[in-house]
């Protein structure tokens, strides 16, 4: 790891690039906030927030914590081909990565998470990053399984919604197939050594990094562990759905569990759009769109989105900062890691 003080020349372009990405994300966030806030009564939103029944936060926080426990358990199984961990060992790195997502744009918290677990436990950062990539794929698999189970209980949706669900399903299945092929035929990576016009040393480094990355996907070869990972992914999103179920009750929204699976799916699709740190704007816009399918007013939905986003961000940031201090990891260090 090269620190900022040891190589000033590359550091400045990197910081400039980071600032550009943050600015780009902020512009996107402002655009989505404008879309969702136009023709909306701010006073009604404020009334919902001020007069909300915040006793519902108690079960919300329980579900939120359980979701992170299941995430840590899943990460433990994802790491099995690389190194054996306990869920407790990975829990702090998990929270620090999620907290970093609230600070850095473009979900750079995932890079921070790979860096932290690699540094703490002497694990290849490429392999760590691969487990996080596979984790995100399994997130998609988990929510899609729940969505398929929810479809019979949902109203008829517009064609674009059905297409989004179909494309998402094909995408996640395709990525898993490609990962399986790479694992089965990883010796073909050596073909890269024959690419001309690249220094031999550089080709060796590239091939080594790719092979380390592929190791992070090897858990899918173990049927038993892979099924456990799918089950834990479903558990994560069941907890997240219950979290949303209790959260929206704060402003008086009473939707069935299966309807909130759909709202959660739309929100997940929305936060995939690059935006300001913490997915500000894209989260609220997607949440409101999902709620409007069930005839919830924009004001009520936006109030619920603000509370949900605010509480979730505060929870993650509080625990993440606590672990950053406990582990002695500074902002400068994670900024250099990015």
pLDDT digits (tens, 9 = 90+) for 58-83: 999 999 999 999 999 999 999 998 88
DSSP calls for 238-262 = HHHHHHHHHHHGGGT----HHHHHH
Residue 41 has pLDDT above 50, yes or no: yes
Q: What region does 85 belong to: left with phi over 0, alpha with psi -120 to 50, or beta?
A: beta
Of 104, 71, 72, 20, the C-alpha closest to 337 is: 104
Of 139, 149, 147, 161, the C-alpha closest to 292 is: 161
Q: What angle do CA 254, 258, 261 make, to 5 degrees?
A: 100
pLDDT digits (tens, 9 = 90+) for 202-215: 766 666 677 667 76
DSSP calls for 135-151 = HHHHHHHHHHHHHHHHG
- Write down the pLDDT at residue 129: 86
- Write down the pLDDT at residue 198: 67
pLDDT digits (tens, 9 = 90+) for 254-300: 999 999 999 999 999 888 888 888 888 999 999 999 999 899 999 99
The residue-averaged pLDDT of 47-55 equals 94
Residue 321 has pLDDT above 50, yes or no: yes
Supply 205's token pair.
């480094």
DSSP state of 103: T
Helix (H, G, I), strand (E, B) or coil at 211: helix
The residue-averaged pLDDT of 233-242 equals 97
Chain centroid to CA 76: how far? 17
- Write down the pLDDT at residue 153: 83
Strand (E) positions, 98-254? Answer: none
């Amino acid at each position: 790891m090269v620190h900022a003080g040891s190589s000033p020349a590359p550091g400045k372009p990197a910081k400039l690039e980071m600032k550009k990405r943050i600015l780009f994300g902020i512009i996107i966030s402002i655009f989505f906030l404008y879309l969702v806030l136009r023709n909306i009564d701010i006073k009604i939103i404020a009334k919902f927030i001020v007069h909300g029944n915040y006793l519902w936060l108690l079960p919300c926080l329980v579900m939120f914590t359980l979701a992170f426990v299941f995430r840590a358990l899943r990460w433990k199984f994802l790491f099995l081909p690389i190194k054996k961990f306990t869920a407790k060992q990975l829990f702090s790195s998990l929270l620090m990565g999620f907290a970093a997502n609230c600070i850095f744009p473009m979900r750079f918290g995932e890079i921070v998470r790979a860096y932290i677990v690699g540094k703490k436990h002497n694990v290849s950062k490429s392999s760590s990053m691969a487990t996080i990539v596979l984790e995100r794929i399994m997130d998609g698999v988990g929510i899609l399984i729940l969505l398929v189970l929810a479809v019979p209980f949902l109203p008829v949706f517009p064609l674009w919604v059905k297409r989004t669900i179909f494309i998402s399903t094909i995408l996640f299945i395709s990525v898993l197939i490609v990962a399986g092929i790479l694992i089965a035929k990883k010796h073909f990576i050596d073909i890269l050594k024959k690419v001309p016009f690249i220094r031999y040393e550089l080709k060796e480094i590239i091939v080594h990094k790719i092979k380390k990355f592929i190791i992070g996907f090897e858990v899918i070869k173990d049927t038993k562990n892979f099924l456990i990972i799918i089950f834990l992914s479903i558990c994560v999103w069941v907890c997240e759905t219950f979290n949303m179920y209790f959260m929206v009750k704060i402003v008086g929204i009473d939707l069935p569990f299966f309807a909130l699976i759909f709202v959660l799916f739309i929100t997940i699709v929305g936060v995939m759009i690059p935006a300001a740190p913490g997915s500000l704007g894209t989260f609220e816009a997607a949440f409101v769109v999902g709620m409007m399918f069930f005839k919830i007013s924009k004001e009520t939905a936006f109030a619920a989105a603000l509370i949900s986003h605010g509480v979730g961000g505060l929870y993650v940031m509080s625990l993440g900062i606590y672990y950053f201090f406990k582990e002695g990891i500074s902002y400068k260090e994670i900024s250099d890691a990015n």
